[in-house]
Amino acid sequence: MIDYVSGTLVDKDPESALVDVNGIGYRVHVPTSTYERLPDTDEEVTLHTYHYLREDDESLYGFSSKAERRIFETMTGVSRVGPKLALSALSSMSPTELRDHVMEADKSRLTQISGVGKKTADRLIVELRDPLADLDVLEDTSPLSGGSDARAEARADALEALTELGLNKADAERAIRQVLRENAGIQSADELVQRALKEGQD
């Protein structure tokens, strides 16, 4: 299995990224959420990948986080759900939102995903509920290039602090995600906690 692809971003569009790895170009299919975080061309990028291999199809799918990849893998294990539909789901909503809609059995929201009807929504709820129950899907909204270690540590520390202050994990994740969307440069857990608490009060 190709676990990740790391190299120079040569080209990108809303459906794929072309990454040069030591002179070999990998065309990687990506969801919208990952495309929006891709750096400019000619910059370095790392994508968590899933190598989809069937008799009539061999494709490489790339994601900004391991959580996105795990959801993609889990969805493709659901009866009559292929990579196209799984990618559509991750393009329609964040991993956190997808997990929450599955856990809440919110069929009306799941059927808003292109290609998902009522029967498919029922299958997703039944077959994804247990695998997604314990999945940590706090998303990183920073660009897919350098400087992510300090940011990741700050997010983890902030999430722990917010839950200790009484917020449930889902609310804490939403607040942190919103703060990072508006202030992508934050790398201090203390500042992240303060802004997230303010976000929750607004």
Q: What is the phi/psi pair of residue 133, to 5°?
A: -55, -40
Question: So where are the chain's domains?
Answer: 4-63, 66-133, 148-201
The CATH class of 148-201 is mainly alpha
Q: Distance (Å, rounded) from C-alpha 155 to C-alpha 103?
A: 23
Residues 116 and 10 sit within 8 Å (Cβ to Cβ): no
pLDDT in tens, the chain (202 residues): 789 999 999 999 989 999 999 999 999 999 988 888 898 899 999 999 999 888 777 899 999 888 889 889 888 888 788 899 999 998 888 887 888 889 889 999 999 998 899 999 999 999 888 887 766 655 544 445 544 456 667 777 888 899 899 888 767 877 877 787 677 667 788 988 998 888 766 5
CATH number of 66-133: 1.10.150.20
Query: What's the pLDDT score for residue 18?
Result: 97
Please, how many CA atoms are within 13 Å of residue 1, restricted to the half-sphere of its CB? 10
- pLDDT score for 147: 41
Specify the pLDDT at position 45.
94
The confidence score (pLDDT) of residue 152 equals 64
Q: Give buried/exposed letters for 115-145 (b at 16+ CB in 10 A, else e).
A: ebeeebbeebbebbeebbeebebbbbbbbbe
User: Which pLDDT score, from 0 to 100, does residue 202 have?
Assistant: 57
Contact by Cβ (8 Å): 127, 79: yes
In sequence order, which residues have a C-beta less than 8 Å from that of residue 104 and are 6 or more positions away? none
How far is C-alpha 57 from the chain's CA centre? 24
- The dihedrals phi and psi of 31, each to the nearest 5 degrees, come to -75, 165
The token pair at 138 is 């706090």
pLDDT at 141: 46
Tokens at 7, concatenated:
């190299």
Tokens of 82: 């292929």
Q: Which residues of 21-57 are buried (b: 16+ CB within 10 A; e: fewer)?
A: eeeeebebbbbebbbebbeeeeeebbbbbbebeeeee
Choices 1.25.50.10, 2.40.160.40, 3.40.50.2000, 2.40.50.140: CATH for 4-63: 2.40.50.140
Whose CA is closest to 47, among 140, 127, 156, 168?
A: 140
- Residue-level pLDDT at 137: 55
Single pTM value for the model: 0.65
